[in-house]
Homo-oligomer: A and B are copies of this chain.
Amino acid sequence: MTPEGLARASADAMWQGDLASQSLGMAIDDIGPGRATLSMTVRDEMTNGHKTCHGGFIFTLADSAFAFACNSYNQRTVAQMAAITFLAPAFAGDRLTATAHEVARAGRSGIYDIRVTNQDGQQIAEFRGHSRTVKGTHLPVDPGNTPSE
């Protein structure tokens, strides 16, 4: 299987169980080795007391893009730490897009940057996630294909 095909198959397997991303109406727009793009429309029930999208939902979209990007090698990989900077508010009805790319990957550790933009291309948030590979794969693999530290 090619790296692009493996990323696609890993994402398909993960997506089946990802009730969170599904129930928030996310879509996977692009997936590949070390990268993922997801989008989501801000719903009324995602807004807070400031009448803007609750930062938690912006984070959740970015975190899903991070998860699909760092799991694209068919190795179960979890978020260890993440930081987000909010640059501009998002509003109900906005279509947000989170684009994840890999900054570093060494041993079991990885760093991924995710940019969140709205339908006008405006920067809404910048997210940096730290991942760690754990035991297990998304697809069946031959025994030699396991991560080492």
Q: Mark A41-74, 1 if CB is under 8 A from B, else 0.
A: 0001111111100111101110110010001000
Contact of A111 among B51, B64, B85 (CB under 8 A): B85
Quick check: B63 and A55 within 8 Å, CB to CB?
Answer: yes
Q: Mark A19-44, 1 if CB is under 8 A from B, else 0.
A: 11111000000000000000000001
Residues of B close to A15: CB separation below 8 A: 49
Contact of A45 among B19, B76, B79, B126 (CB under 8 A): B19
| CB closest residue in chain B, given A128 | B128
Known: A81-B85, A83-B128, A85-B130. A56 touches B63 (CB 8 A): yes
A107 to chain B: closest CB distance in Å?
10
Quick check: B86 and A20 within 8 Å, CB to CB?
Answer: no
Name 19 interchain pairs, CB-CB below 8 A, sorted by A: A15-B49, A17-B49, A17-B50, A19-B45, A49-B71, A54-B60, A54-B64, A56-B59, A56-B60, A56-B64, A59-B59, A59-B60, A80-B86, A81-B81, A82-B83, A83-B84, A85-B111, A85-B130, A128-B128
Q: Which residues of A contact B (CB under 8 A)?
A: 13-23, 44-51, 54-57, 59-61, 63-64, 67, 71, 76, 78-88, 103-104, 106, 109, 111, 113, 123, 126, 128, 130, 138
